[in-house]
Amino acid sequence: MVLSGAREHGKNMFAVDVDGQIFVLDAGLKYPDSSLFGIDVVIPDMDFFAQYGDRVSGIFLTHGHADSIGALPYILRNYDIDIFGSELTIALAKIEVKRENKKINNKLFHVIDQDSEIEFKSASVSFFHTTHSIPDSLGIVIHTSEGQIVYTGDFKFDPSATQNYRTDMDLLAKIGLNKVLALLSDSSNSEAWFPSASEQDIEKYVTDVFRNAKGRIIVAAKASNLNRVQEVLNAAHKTGRRVLLTGRDVAKIVRTSMKLGYLDVPDGLLMRVKDLKTTPDEKTVILETGRMGEPLNSLQKMATKRHSMIRIHKGDLVFIATTPSNSVETMVAETSDMVYRAGGTVIQLGRNKHTSGHATGRDLQLLIDTLKPKFLFPVIGEYRLMEIHKNLAIKVGMKKDDIYLVQNGESYVYEKNKDHFYLSDPVPGEDTMIDGSGVGDVGNIVLRDREILSDDGIFIAVVTIDRKKKKIIAQPQVTSRGFVYIKANHKLMHDSIEVIKKAIDNNFEHKKFDWTELKQDIRNDLEKFLYKQTNRRPVVLPVVMEVNQNRHRAMQKKNNAKDEQAKINKKSHKTHNSGSNKYNNRQHKHPIDVNKSGKKVVEKDKENK
């Protein structure tokens, strides 16, 4: 079952149903692009757990990045499902869940490793080490009666990787000796043909950059890319610099990784914000991370003097130590320009070294050649990358008909007699959008309105009517935001008022009164008028209010009674105080309120009343 993560990058989530038992592989999120106005994150369709939650035996995690663990807080709010992952992955998953949920059930989290094998009623699940940009990454193997189903998660091959990052090729070969029925494999970097630089080469390059820098170094990197964080710490230590960690995410992740022994931080290397004043620029490294993995917003604030702690000044080197995604390349260029304007310089690791945490085309072919799967399901990547993955598999001997280019919401059933997978009933595969505390309450209609608001703004018309007398009681009021500058468009605003009046009069004259129709008439006429005048289509919001005649009459009667009483009081005060010239003079000068003339007068006034 392809729940999420196909024909897109991020929010990986797949499921395998073996004789009624469901095994969920990863539960990730993705960060929104510019078209999702105001959306914080996007997660897989939660309706899957509403339909199949009672059959889910567990969620098995490959690694600790957000695209693998980010949806867990929203799943565990409503469902008690066992979570399996490596020690570091489970630690990071708990941090992610605690961030969104106040309470966490620690009994649901289970730490496993490569040597673990978990027996279930219909299948067993085992694991194998993989290489990625975070340690303790695992691939997952589901052992069924018809063969093994292998899910790689995010991976690559790097023979020079350190122990915590190294793929176990021997175990991978053993898995390939048994029947691999289906392989679900990472496609994110399939179009890259040249091999990625080894992490040893990258660490040497980072050290050289640090050694040649004359002033402060500001490093932009993913908080969860622990491999890169370790290389930055090593380079700072070798060049005699101290490191300041900025950002809540990196602090939590670094502390957790240090505690578990996955990150080596020499004593005295880290410093606090107050140490910046006493540490020379040539001895300072600032490690800035961002929630989206590419902390460009923070760099822009530093360059424009809007950051709460750091300001880029002349002599600073900004080292972008991560490879930005294609969708933010324009933003990278804009950020670099801001840094140069502020007096700094920029070096991008991705420009000088080909580096990625995902398998290249040759890595994918090597995996297929090692496992020899009967069927291939390219996942984790846009459509073009899945198509390239398919072509790479054909080149190493796989049959075209044995490769499935899937999409979210599809499910495939294995038919033993024909030895083939066929497309079955769909499963929930829509996006669930998170906006603030709301989960899934923002849909396409809301997003469309937000898009229109961002393009042409909003135009608001307020009018009060008497529907019994069929007339407008108060002059319509109009205002706008993000549409036109009101002070420079008096004529447009005045003419729009006439349009509103005409729409209401036409409705009263030719139609039986209906609130919905009246508002729709005002909206339609205004939209046509405003587009004709400006060629823009703002969101038109008519607000029509009705005067309450009964309440109006009661208020009028009450006000008349007050006026009569005031006249009586006034005459009474004049008669009572006619002998006092001093008071009369003061009353003549201040005729606004008799009661304010003194305490005795107020008391007498009460007696008169």
3-state secondary structure (DSSP) of residue 70: coil
Residue 71: half-sphere exposure toward Cβ, Cα within 13 Å: 34
> Three-state SS string across 141-194, please?
EEEECCEEEEECCCCECCCCCCHHHCCCHHHHHHHHHCCEEEEEEECCCCCCCC
Which value, to the nearest 10 degrees, does the dihedral of the CA atoms of residues 186, 189, 193, 198 take?
-90
φ and ψ of 149, to 5 deg: -115, 120
* Tokens coding 213: 């820098």
| Residues 31/16, Cβ–Cβ less than 8 Å | no
Return the residue matching tokens 């796989």. Answer: 398
| Residues 408/4, Cβ–Cβ less than 8 Å | yes
Annotated binding-site members: 354-358
> Which residue in 338, 347, 35, 61 sits closest to 221, CA to CA?
347
Strand partners, 58: 23
Strand partners, 55: none
Distances (CA, A) of 330 to 34, 344, 349: 12, 19, 17
* Environment class of 284 (CB within 10 Å of its CB; exposed 0-12, middle 13-18, buried 19+): buried
User: What is d(CA 10, CA 64) in angstroms, rounded to the nearest whole number?
Assistant: 13
Q: Which residues, in sequence order, are CB contacts of 58 under 8 Å at separation 6+? A: 23, 24, 81, 82, 83, 84, 118, 125
Could you tell me how far CA 80 lies from the centroid of its own chain? 24
> Which residue in 477, 468, 463 sits closest to 519, CA to CA?
463
Annotated binding-site members for substrate: 354-358
| Residues 319/205, Cβ–Cβ less than 8 Å | no
The DSSP secondary structure of 365-404, one letter per residue, reads HHHHHHH--SEEEEESB-HHHHHHHHHHHHHTT--GGGB-
| Residues 494/518, Cβ–Cβ less than 8 Å | no
Strand partners, 253: none
* Environment class of 576 (CB within 10 Å of its CB; exposed 0-12, middle 13-18, buried 19+): middle
φ and ψ of 495, to 5 deg: -65, -35
> Which residue in 58, 62, 56 sits closest to 127, CA to CA?
62
| Residues 109/101, Cβ–Cβ less than 8 Å | no
Measured CA angle at 526 (ends 522, 531), to 5 deg: 155
268: left (phi over 0), alpha (psi -120 to 50) or beta: left
User: What is d(CA 305, CA 299) in angstroms, rounded to the nearest whole number?
Assistant: 10
| Torsional sign, CA 575, 579, 584, 587 | negative
Could you tell me how far CA 514 lies from the centroid of its own chain? 41
